[in-house]
Every structure is written in C-alpha cells, then in structure tokens.
Structure 1
Amino acid sequence: MSEADEADFISGCKIDHLYPRDFKNGAGRFFNYVVEEDGATTVEYSPPFPSKNRIKLTLTFIHGSNEITKVTLKRFKHDKREGWVEDRFVSDEPFQLTHFSFEKLASLLQLLKDLDLASLNLPRIPIMEGAISGIDPEFAKKIKTLLIQPDGQRIVEEVVSSGVITSHDIVNIGYRKAQLEQFRLMLDDAGELRAYAQREDVRIDQPEKAWQHFLKHNEWIFGFGLDYRFLSILQEEAVVGSPDLAGRDAPIVDFLLSATHFTVLVEVKQPGTPLFGASRARSGSWRLSTDLIESVSQVLQQKAAWQVKAESNHGGNYDRQGSLIRQGTTDPKCILVIGSDNAFSGSDAERQAKFRTFELLRRDSRNIDILTYSELYQRAAFVVGRSAQ
C-alpha cells in the first residue's frame, strides 16, 4: 500500500477484523489486522479525535508453500492536521507493545494457525468472541453452557485428543456454514448477488463472473465429484484450445479441475438460465431451451479442444503461476452448472414432463455431468452437514 492508501485503511477499517487482499499475480495474499493500543495515547489532538494509537499487523501468505512467510507490525498515531500517520522509530529504538496489544495479536496468530487462509474470501472477517457468522446462536449458547459445567473441560479435552474433531475442523465448519448461507442468499435474491459482486469488486453487469468468483474461493463446494472423486481447482478461466488464424476465439473454460490423476472441465452459467422452451414436445417430453443446447455444445467443443491441446503439447501444460499440470487428460470429464429448480415450473403434469426430459438428457450425455445450482447447493449443504457430525 502507498502511505495515502495505508492511512485511508487505518482510518476506515473496523478494529479487530481481518482483511484479506490477493496479490495481483495470484501467488498469495496479504492479511491486515488492526487493534487499538491501550496505555499509549497520542499527542497533538483533542476530542473528537481518537484517543489511542493503532497497531497494524500484516501477514504475507504464499499459496504454493501454504504458509505465512512474513509478519510486519506498524504503529500509527492520529495527528489533528494530517490524520493517521505511521509512528516511525529510529534504528536504536525498539518497537514496544503494551501487554494488551501483545495478547490481542498473539491470540490472532494462534487463530490463524487453524484457519484455511487460502479459502477465506470474505472482504472483512470479524475476529472477536461471538462474531463468527454461520453458527446458530442457540447452538452456541448450549455449547457455552456445557463448557462451564464441572466436566466441561474434560469433555472438550477428550473430544480433541481423540482426533475426532480438531480446532481446525471447528473453524472450517463455521466458515463453510457462513459460505453456504451466502450461497443461498445469492441463489434466492438477485440483489444479494449484485451486492456480493460489489463487495468483491467483480463486474456486476455479468452475473456469471460473480458466481465464478464465489466458486473459485469456495472450491470445497465442488468437493467430491459426482462419482466421488475429489475435485480441486487447477486454473480458473483456462484457455483449453488454440485460437483461429486471426488469433481469436480460443476456447476458454471457467474452471480446470483436478480429479487426482486426471483433469476435469467445468462451465458455469447462471441460475436463471432457462432450461426449457415455452411448449411441450411430442411423446410427453418438453422442449429444451436454446440456452441449454448451446451450453452443452460449448462444453463439447471445450472438451474436444482440450483433448487435442493436452495431447499435442509434449512439453507439458502449465498454469498461470508456471507450475506444471501433472494431471493427465484422457477423454476428459465435463461438468455444466446451469439453471435452478425454478426452471421446473408449471402444473404437476408439466413439472413431471420437465423433470423426465431433463433427466433423460443427463443420462444420455456421456462424460458431461449437468447439474443445477439448486443441486450444487444441496450437495454443499450435505458436505457441511457431514463435516459437522
């Protein structure tokens, strides 16, 4: 950050909140955290200006090594003319922390050891008692009641020492429940989708971009594939084919996934994409929409192009970080996420015809798994539910 940007951040940030920020090259992330320092008042101001210095902790996290590589501390004081300015020290003067500030920062570092830093995608994360979203308040109350009982500590120690559940598990479950709720809100409310796009600085005129961003930062939602192979993201917006002679129209897939030993292609459309036409077809079926047919055709083209590119590039394929993609590509599997349960509207007879037509299409689409956002949400809810057991 520049000095001006840093001053704006110190002025506008919420105390005791964690702020993730991605590197421009995608290789890692910064995490910024600010506390107010007790016992050290600043000079050259009077109310209504702040009465405490602020300490900014910055962590540098690298995706490749999955570790924190640098920790930086800065103290800021408030000047009535200049606003928040860094309190720089001379070389022979040590950087000192009050006991209060040390305890706050030490608690944060201990918590971060148990967080999946690569997956945190909220623009601001509260780090304080009772502030973790996604946990039912009544459930939290029962847990606290249990812990103050005479045997509470012994019960917790037995659970953790048994290896059944760890503090890392507890944090991940809370985070995933919060993200599941975000998924539901975006699915049910277009306004919430726009609000998410604005918070994450994603183009609001292309809803698919917001969904791509959300799924990128929550790859656990893809989780286990439909055939129970674990899927993880290798590359978003991957160029899976060659451009034409004019250098245009190179096929791009929304996500290139890894299924342990082989690659998988994922194309993401919108929940509101129509799956059916306006009228019934013959033999009790329903006409499929042009959007759905064109999406299937697009995925088939991506599949064919990626097969050729993977086989012809004997030197290997690399992601944007320059890492070799070691997974093979043999008749690659494809996943198309499109539409939602809202597409199956109408009378009972019409809904039944639509469900039957859609299922027949899926069963006869070899190597393309077509699923709706509603189904993807249900699978994510199952993953969270199973993790919480």
Structure 2
Amino acid sequence: MSGFDDAATIGEWRTDHLYVHPFRTGDGKFFTVIIEDDGNRSVEYIPPFPSRNRLKIKFTFIAERNEITKIELRKYKEYKDGWREQWSGADDPISLTHFSFQKIMSLLQLMTELGLANVTERRLAIHDGPGPIEKETVEKVKSIMALPEGHKILDEVLQSGLIQSHDIVNIGYRKAQLAIFKRLLEEPAYLDAYKVEESLTTPQEEKIWQHFFQKNPWIFGFGLDYRYLNILQAEAHIADTDLNGNDAAIVDFLMGCTNFTVLVEVKKPSAPLFVRSQNRANSWRLSKDFIDAVSQILEQKASWQIKAETNAHKNFNADAELLRQRTLDPKCILIMSSSAAFAGSEKEREIKLRTFELFRRDTRNIEIVTFDELYERASFIVSDKVSAGGHTVPTDSADYPF
C-alpha cells in the first residue's frame, strides 16, 4: 500500500487516528492525521454514491529540537472514479468548515501536549469528538490543582491507569454534546441554529438527528442491553436494488457490538405514537406513522439478513474495512417520538403508557426507544445519573429501564 500522498488510498485510512512514520535516519518523525470534512455538504445525497471530503494534516517533528517544524494541509474529494487532491492556490484556497476548523484546533492542542519524542505506536486513536474541553471540566481540574496536594492527587490518578488525560477531554466533550441533545429536544428553534453551526443544508429533521448521532455514537454506548455498540456504516445500503434501480433499502445506522451487527432507524421526536381515538378495553390506537416505522425496520432486518449471508466477503464500510461482525437474526433499534406523545389526562396517559409498553415488550428483536429515554440513557453514561421530574438522581444499572 502506498503512502498518504497517494490520493488513491486516502479513503482506506482511518479518520481521527494519529499515524506515526519515523525518519529513516532516526532524527524525527512524521505525524499524519486524516479527518472527515463533510460539514460543507448536505447530508442528503442520491444513492448509491455519497460525496465525501477528507483533510490530511501532516506534522514534521525534529527530535533534537523537540518541536514541530512544519505543518502541511491537503484536501481530497471523492468522485465516482476515486479520490483526487483538491489543489489550492491564490485563486483557489483551501476552505474549511467550522466543524473541521474545531477539529484542527483540538488536534493542534493535542499535538502540543503529547510527548512526541516518546510516541512509539504506529497508530493512535486520538479523538472521541471534535469539541474543546468543556469550561466546567477545566474549572474542576483547576480547583483540584489549587489544593495543597492537588498535583499529587492528579499524578496518582493519571499514573493509576484508571483514567488518562484524554478521558477528561472525552467527558467534557460528551457533557457539551448532551447539552446540545437537550436543546434539540426542547427548543424547536434550535434545530435551525444547529444546522448553521454544523453547515447542514438538509430541510429534513430526521437528517439533522442522524448527523448528531453520527457525531456522537457514544450515546448508543453499551447498547440497550449493555453491549458496546459502534457505528459500522451510516446510511448503509443493506439490500440490492430492483433491476430498474429502485427500492434500495437504506438503514440510518448499521452498528456492531463485538460479534454481531445491529440496525438502527431514527425518526423524529415529534412523530406520533398514537391517534386521537381510544380503542376499547383500556388500550389506545397506535398511529400509522408508528406502525409504518416498525414495518420498515422489520423489512430492513430481513433484507440485511439476506445480504449479509450472501455477500459476507463483500461487505466493506466507508473506510474500506471488511465487516467482521456476523449477522444472525439481527437486533433492531427504533428511535422515535418523545414523552409528548403520552399527553392527556392522567387516565389517558396511563392507558397510552400501558399500550406502548405492552406493544414494545411483545415486539421480538426490536428495541423501541423514545428520544427522551435515549437522552436519559446518555445522561447516565456521562454522570451515572438520570433525571426524574427535572432533577438528577443517582441510579443503579440494575434499575435502569433499558
């Protein structure tokens, strides 16, 4: 495989990883990072080809001077026939999105803090998110450092191996993203502001949420049954099209735990779970949107089962990595609606809650979760607390509702 300067291979390297290439003379090292620069395109595209952009940042480190002496920035764009470098000049400068600029600033901060002379790994994962350290986290660390034994406490924590400096950064980033999650849920006007912040052009609310979750796969955390989940492919084509090219099955997220794949479909928090009229026998009539969503993910499950079994040796993700997870009666997660769907009198609310819970408990292999529940779960991941009636309270994992 050729080096990073070959545009033909730029799509095969992992993003947000620090690649280390020592000089042959031993006098220094090249440090290279590839980041996605997809904030300047719409998250909507015409299947099956999504246009992507990547940035390559290359640092030249001289060991004797213990400093970075040169930084190179190159931009690549993916076309139907492969990747090409986007040449820059006086009339065509490299432009960066706000999202990419934040990631580069965080990367520069990290590079100044790392002991580059002592890095021996050939590849390091360096990011759990693009955001800077949260102000609250900085203040907490400062308050510890202000104590007479502050430095000793922090040194003992870091040396214990129980927490590393990047863990502190990750916690701060996740808390900041949790605040964004809450605003997206509770402030309808913030959706437009978030689109501007993230340079999104899509008019679809579902696409905005897909973008947020793609930036924050940690929210799925240990899965809804305490198995760690990571995104294998966003907007995955999980079935072949018809002969005329129609009816492609696309799931929002193809995720994976250690050994098996999981399908995730994201709808809107405003999507209704019920219609206005009540059924007989203390049950409430489910909405067409809800039934359609369940039918959709069941079809996705069936289509992916067939494709995974018949094309196991061809299922590569966007980073050109072969999926190692097996597909066996895959689990599905449907994220839809919110607590507003249960509005009404106390009796109506009770009937709706009962109907919803009975339905999802009896729906085999589909985990149906509202956005509020997912937010509570993300709160638990960050702080081991969930909110109840507007207040955060500690909880035991055994008591957690998922």
TM-score by length of 1: 0.69
Seen in structure 2, the aligned counterparts of structure 1 residues 335 and 61 have a Cα distance that, compared at 3 Å, is farther
3-state SS of 1:256 partner: strand
1:165 to 163, 166, 188: 163
| Alignment deviations for residues 301-327 of structure 1 (CA, whole Å, 9 cap, x no partner) | 111111111112253312233321121
> What is the CA–CA distance in structure 2 between the aligned matches of 1:113 and 1:173, rounded to whole Å?
22
Name the aligned partner's letter for residue 190 of structure 2. Answer: E
Aligned to 1:128: none
Seen in structure 2, the aligned counterparts of structure 1 residues 234 and 29 have a Cα distance that, compared at 3 Å, is farther
Cα displacement (A) at 1:339: 0.4
2:129 to 120, 125, 134: 120
> What is the CA–CA distance in structure 2 between the aligned matches of 1:191 and 1:113, rounded to whole Å?
44
> What is the CA–CA distance in structure 2 between the aligned matches of 1:216 and 1:277, rounded to whole Å?
31
| Alignment deviations for residues 329-372 of structure 1 (CA, whole Å, 9 cap, x no partner) | 11111000000111110111111111111101110110100001
Matched, 1:309 2:311: no
Seen in structure 2, the aligned counterparts of structure 1 residues 203 and 365 have a Cα distance that, compared at 3 Å, is farther
> What is the CA–CA distance in structure 2 between the aligned matches of 1:349 and 1:168, rounded to whole Å?
49
Name the aligned partner's letter for residue 296 of structure 1. Answer: V
Name the aligned partner's letter for residue 244 of structure 1. Answer: D
3-state SS of 2:189 partner: helix
The answer to whether the Cα contact below 8 Å between 2:144 and 2:150 also exists between their aligned partners in 1 is yes
The answer to whether the Cα contact below 8 Å between 2:129 and 2:170 also exists between their aligned partners in 1 is no
Output aligned runs, 1:372-387, within 5 Å: 372-386=370-384
The answer to whether the Cα contact below 8 Å between 1:265 and 1:335 also exists between their aligned partners in 2 is yes
Aligned to 1:75: none
Name the aligned partner's letter for residue 178 of structure 1. Answer: A
Cα displacement (A) at 1:255: 0.4
Matched, 1:22 2:37: yes
Name the aligned partner's letter for residue 265 of structure 1. Answer: L
Seen in structure 2, the aligned counterparts of structure 1 residues 229 and 27 have a Cα distance that, compared at 3 Å, is farther
3-state SS of 1:291 partner: helix
Name the aligned partner's letter for residue 129 of structure 2. Answer: L
Output aligned runs, 1:174-323, within 5 Å: 174-313=172-311, 315-323=313-321
Count of residue correspondences: 300
What RMSD over aligned residues (CA atoms) do the two structures have, in Å? 3.4
Output aligned runs, 1:353-372, within 5 Å: 353-372=351-370
| Alignment deviations for residues 198-218 of structure 1 (CA, whole Å, 9 cap, x no partner) | 222223410111110110011
> What is the CA–CA distance in structure 2 between the aligned matches of 1:21 and 1:233, rounded to whole Å?
15
3-state SS of 2:221 partner: coil
> What is the CA–CA distance in structure 2 between the aligned matches of 1:372 and 1:179, rounded to whole Å?
18
Cα displacement (A) at 1:157: 1.3
> What is the CA–CA distance in structure 2 between the aligned matches of 1:344 and 1:112, rounded to whole Å?
50
Aligned to 2:340: 342
Identical counterparts, % of pairs = 49
Aligned to 2:10: none
Structure 1 residue ranges without an equivalent (≥5): 1-19, 33-54, 63-81, 87-103, 126-131
> What is the CA–CA distance in structure 2 between the aligned matches of 1:204 and 1:190, rounded to whole Å?
16
Deviates more, 1:190-199 or 1:348-357: 190-199
The answer to whether the Cα contact below 8 Å between 1:272 and 1:340 also exists between their aligned partners in 2 is yes
The answer to whether the Cα contact below 8 Å between 2:237 and 2:250 also exists between their aligned partners in 1 is yes
Name the aligned partner's letter for residue 230 of structure 1. Answer: Y
Name the aligned partner's letter for residue 153 of structure 2. Answer: I
Cα displacement (A) at 1:22: 1.8
3-state SS of 1:320 partner: coil
Seen in structure 2, the aligned counterparts of structure 1 residues 181 and 142 have a Cα distance that, compared at 3 Å, is closer
Structure 2 residue ranges without an equivalent (≥5): 1-34, 39-49, 59-68, 77-89, 95-105, 117-123, 386-393, 395-402
Matched, 1:110 2:112: yes
Aligned to 2:5: none
